[in-house]
Amino acid sequence: MRFQTHHPIFVGVAIQLLAFPSVGAQFTWICSTNSQRWVDKGTLQSASGKKSSGRQIEITENAFRQEIDGWGGCFNELEWEALSALGTNERDAVIAALFDTVTGCALNLCRMPIGANDYAQGYYSLDDHADDFTMSYFSVARDSLRLIPFIKAAMKYRPDLQITASPWCPPTWMMTPVGSQPYVGTIKATPQIFDAYGLYLAKFVNAYRALGINIASVHVQNEPQFNNNNYPQCKWTGAQMRDFIKGYLGPQFRKNNVAAEICHGTIWNLWDDGRIPDLGPLFSK
């Protein structure tokens, strides 16, 4: 097990240029697939039509620096519902276009929710039995209706598919509710809740691995700063996430032999003053 302490994790990549080009910048678009490498796709240019006098972007094949683990999207219930409206051949063609390593996009690192997200058919968690601290009622039975078939269909083309999993919220009984929206609240940061939530995430990884699905990493919380919208959310502070990972989730993963990385949380936004929230040290010296 390896702990990751970097900040935002995205499946799919948004690239921000640190040296901003001038207005009207022009760039060469080079595209590669497994079957066609370094194909010149022409130029990209802003509406002003002025050629840039600033820096050029250059990709070199022989100089390796940062390593990208993979590219992908997110598995959701509503996506599978939409695909299921197609005929079998048409649905398979869409999945092949995304995951096939020769003719498709060769996506290999995708995200999924743990429980409901904003693209679920309804609100749920993997253990909605109140105060089930031992996770006696934990189940991925609902996932077997949509998420697991979706992932298995992708694995037909990418058997090596890796999944990074993120809860939009824990079971509701682990939160203090905010407003009238279901599954929206703040984490109850008590030892008993933290211990149960660590077990919840450990059981999730092992349940999926038993099905042959590689959950490569788990995030503590999606969008941990928000609890003001009508989709599943749970607010955490940086200190709470630090304490949970250090004192509960890490030990639960070790105890249950969970072979997955632990990440802070997905889509972590800056505080109002532009700082990344400080989690402090995860381990004592």
Encode pLDDT of 151-208 as tens digits: 999 999 999 999 999 999 999 999 999 888 889 999 999 999 999 999 999 999 999 9
Question: Do 41 and 110 belong to one domain?
Answer: no
Q: Is residue 204 domain-resident?
A: yes
Question: Do 169 and 36 belong to one domain?
Answer: no
* Residue-wise pLDDT tens digits, 63-118: 777 788 889 999 999 999 999 999 999 999 999 999 999 999 999 999 999 999 99
Q: Is residue 12 domain-resident?
A: no
Secondary structure E strands in the chain: 26-31, 39-45, 109-113, 162-166, 175-177, 184-187, 214-222, 233-235, 261-266
Question: Do 96 and 191 belong to one domain?
Answer: yes
Query: What's the CATH code of the domain at 159?
Result: 3.20.20.80
Question: Do 32 and 100 belong to one domain?
Answer: no
Question: Do 133 and 239 belong to one domain?
Answer: yes
Enumerate residues 6+ apart whose C-beta is below 8 A from 125: 115, 116, 169, 170, 171, 172, 183
Residues 247, 279: contact at Cβ < 8 Å? no
Question: Do 96 and 120 belong to one domain?
Answer: yes
Look up the domain containing 134 and give its range.
Answer: 68-266
